[in-house]
C-alpha cells in the first residue's frame, strides 16, 4: 500500500519548511513565563499595535461576519487606486502579500522556468517557485547586499520571474531607487519583475515603478498591511500591476481570499497617515537605539532602514534559546544560510532596551 508521502506531488516533498517567529503564548508556556511579560521581536511586526482606525473598522465589521466578504474587494481596490493614482483594476488583494506572490507563481510558472532572486531573500520566493516545479536561481549576495549586475547576468531565455525586496528581508539592506529602476528597465520582455515593497513605508525614498507599469513593462509591485499599518494578524496585502496581469491572477485567486474584518481594517488603515508617520518615527529612533547598543556590545550588524536589523552574534542559536528563557523572542537566521546571525525586530524604546540588556547579560 503506498504511503501518503508516496502519493504526494513531487514538489511538495522538496518544499523547505517556513520557520515563523515563535508566538508569545507558545514561548510563555514552554518556559513557564507570564505571557504579558514576553516580548516578540521576531516577525517584524509593528510594536505600536494595529492602526487605531483599522482596529475600529475591524471591530465594527465583526457584526457582519455572518455574510461573505466582498470577493471583489471593491472598496479597498478603489481606495488603493486613489492612493496610488492608478485604476482599481490594477490591483489584486491577497491574504497577505505572501498570497499574491503565490498567485503570481501559480499563474506563470511551470517546470523548466527559472526564477531569479537573492541568496538571502524572503523564503516565500523559493517556496512558490519549487511548488510549481520551477527552478530557483539564487544570486549570491556579497556582504549580504544585492548584486544587481549579477541579477542581470543571471537572466536566461528560461527566466520567468525576478523577485527583489527593498528593503530586503532578512538582511535589512536597501537598494538605491535608481538601481532598481535600471534593473527593471533592463529585463527582457519575457521576464516579470516583482518588486516586493513590504517594508517600503519605512524608507524616505523608494523606487516608483508605476511609470514602467503604465508604459507596458512587465513590472508588478507588492505591498502589505502587515508592517507599517500593524495588521499582520488580519492578513492583507496587494499586488499592483497592469489590468492584464491582475485579471489573470484574479482567475487563480480563491473567491473570498480576504476576510471581512481584514478588508474593513485595510480600507480604514490606508487613511491612517498619522499612525504610519508615528510608526516610521518610532522605528527610525529604534534603529538608532538598537544600532548604538549593538555597537557598544561589539556586535556587527547590517545597516538598514527597515523595521529590523540582522546582527552577527556569537553562538546565535544558543543566544536565541537563552533569550526566550528570559521572555525575549528574536529570530535565528540559520535557515537563510546565515549561521551566527539573529534578526532583531525594532520594538518600542523599552523593548529595545530590554533586548540590549539581556544581550549584554549573556
Nearer CB in complex with ligand PLP: 93/356:
93
Residue nearest to ligand PLP (CB): 96
Nearer CB in complex with ligand PLP: 18/31:
18
Tell me how far apart the alpha carbons of residues 186 and 216 are, in angstroms, rounded to a whole number: 14
Cβ-contact 309, 172 below 8 angstroms: yes
- Give least dist CB 126 to ligand PLP, A: 13
Nearer CB in complex with ligand PLP: 169/174:
169
Nearer CB in complex with ligand PLP: 98/120:
98
Which residues neighbour 73 within 8 Å (Cβ) at sequence distance 6 or greater?
A: 91, 93, 258, 263
Nearer CB in complex with ligand PLP: 232/252:
232
Tell me how far apart the alpha carbons of residues 266 and 252 are, in angstroms, rounded to a whole number: 22
- Give least dist CB 151 to ligand PLP, A: 16
- Give least dist CB 76 to ligand PLP, A: 14
Nearer CB in complex with ligand PLP: 44/324:
44
- Give least dist CB 238 to ligand PLP, A: 9
- Give least dist CB 230 to ligand PLP, A: 11
Q: Which residues bind ligand PLP (CB under 6 A)?
A: 44, 96-98, 122, 165, 169, 196, 198, 224, 226, 232, 237
Nearer CB in complex with ligand PLP: 234/246:
234
Residue 30, C-alpha cell as written in the block = 514552554
- Give least dist CB 112 to ligand PLP, A: 26
- Give least dist CB 205 to ligand PLP, A: 18
- With b for 16 or more beta-carbon neighbours within 10 A and e for fewer, the 77-87 pattern comes to bebbbeebebe
Phi, psi (rounded to 5 degrees) for 149: -60, -35
Amino acid at each position: 500500500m503506498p504511503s501518503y508521502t508516496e502519493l504526494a506531488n513531487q514538489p511538495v516533498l522538496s518544499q523547505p519548511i517556513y520557520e515563523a517567529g515563535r508566538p508569545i503564548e507558545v514561548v510563555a508556556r514552554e518556559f513557564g513565563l507570564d505571557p504579558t511579560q514576553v516580548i516578540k521581536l521576531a516577525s517584524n511586526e509593528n510594536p505600536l499595535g494595529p492602526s487605531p482606525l483599522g482596529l475600529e473598522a475591524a471591530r465594527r465589521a465583526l457584526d457582519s461576519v455572518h455574510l461573505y466578504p466582498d470577493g471583489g474587494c471593491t472598496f479597498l481596490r478603489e481606495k488603493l487606486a486613489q492612493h496610488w493614482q492608478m485604476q482599481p483594476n490594477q490591483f489584486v488583494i491577497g491574504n497577505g502579500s505572501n498570497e499574491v506572490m503565490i498567485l503570481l507563481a501559480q499563474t506563470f510558472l511551470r517546470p523548466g522556468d527559472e526564477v531569479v532572486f537573492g541568496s538571502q531573500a524572503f523564503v516565500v520566493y523559493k517556496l512558490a517557485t519549487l511548488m510549481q516545479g520551477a527552478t530557483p536561481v539564487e544570486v549570491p549576495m556579497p556582504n549580504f547586499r544585492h548584486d544587481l549586475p549579477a541579477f542581470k547576468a543571471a537572466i536566461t531565455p528560461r527566466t520567468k520571474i525576478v523577485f527583489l525586496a527593498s528593503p530586503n528581508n532578512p538582511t535589512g539592506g536597501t537598494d538605491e531607487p535608481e538601481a532598481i529602476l535600471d534593473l527593471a528597465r533592463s529585463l527582457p520582455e519575457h521576464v516579470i519583475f516583482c518588486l516586493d515593497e513590504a517594508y517600503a513605508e519605512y524608507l524616505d525614498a523608494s523606487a516608483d515603478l508605476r511609470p514602467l507599469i503604465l508604459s507596458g513593462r512587465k513590472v508588478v509591485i507588492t505591498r502589505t498591511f502587515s508592517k507599517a499599518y500593524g495588521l499582520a494578524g488580519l492578513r492583507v496585502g496587494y499586488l499592483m500591476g497592469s489590468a492584464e496581469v491582475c485579471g489573470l491572477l484574479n482567475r487563480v485567486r480563491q473567491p473570498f481570499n480576504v476576510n471581512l474584518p481584514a478588508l474593513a481594517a485595510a480600507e480604514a488603515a490606508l487613511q491612517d497617515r498619522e499612525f504610519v508617520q508615528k510608526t516610521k518615527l518610532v522605528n527610525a529612533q529604534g534603529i538608532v537605539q538598537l544600532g548604538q547598543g549593538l555597537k557598544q556590545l561589539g556586535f556587527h550588524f547590517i545597516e538598514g532602514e527597515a523595521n529590523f536589523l540582522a546582527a552577527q552574534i556569537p553562538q546565535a542559536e544558543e543566544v536565541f534559546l537563552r533569550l526566550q528563557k528570559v521572555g525575549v523572542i528574536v529570530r535565528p537566521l540559520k535557515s537563510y544560510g546565515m549561521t551566527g546571525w539573529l534578526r532583531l525586530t525594532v520594538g518600542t524604546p523599552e523593548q529595545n532596551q530590554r533586548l540590549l540588556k539581556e544581550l549584554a547579560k549573556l
